[in-house]
Amino acid sequence: MSKRLEPSEIEERLAQLQGWEFVDNFIIKSFTFKDFKEAFSAMTRIAFECEKMNHHPNWENVYNTLVIKLSTHDAGGVTEKDFKLAQTIETIFTS
């Protein structure tokens, strides 16, 4: 199992990612799309990657907005797996 990272390690890794922050034991980013269809389409693409990784986000979609919150439930905090998924999500948005 992945081990929970220390806040200082989390901040170090966040420096390599655009727009993610550490809040309440999650790494979080908010996205805004043109409309619901675009938001849900992005969620679908992300969902397939999550299934491959067996690692899943907490997220909230309201019409064209999506807030993604990542932590590793099994470890009770943020681990390398969350950074791997955050990186994958970034790749989806830039491809």
Name the residues that contact ligand H2B, by CB under 6 A: 54-56, 72-74
DSSP-assigned states of every residue in 53-83: HT---EEEEETTEEEEEE-BGGGTB--HHHH
Least Å distance between CB 74 and ligand H2B? Answer: 3
Nearer residue to ligand H2B within complex by CB, 31 or 79: 79
Rounded Cα distance between 66 and 38, Å, is 10
Rounded Cα distance between 28 and 82, Å, is 10
Nearer residue to ligand H2B within complex by CB, 29 or 55: 55
Least Å distance between CB 35 and ligand H2B? Answer: 27
H or E, element range at 23: strand 21-23
Least Å distance between CB 78 and ligand H2B? Answer: 10
Nearer residue to ligand H2B within complex by CB, 6 or 74: 74
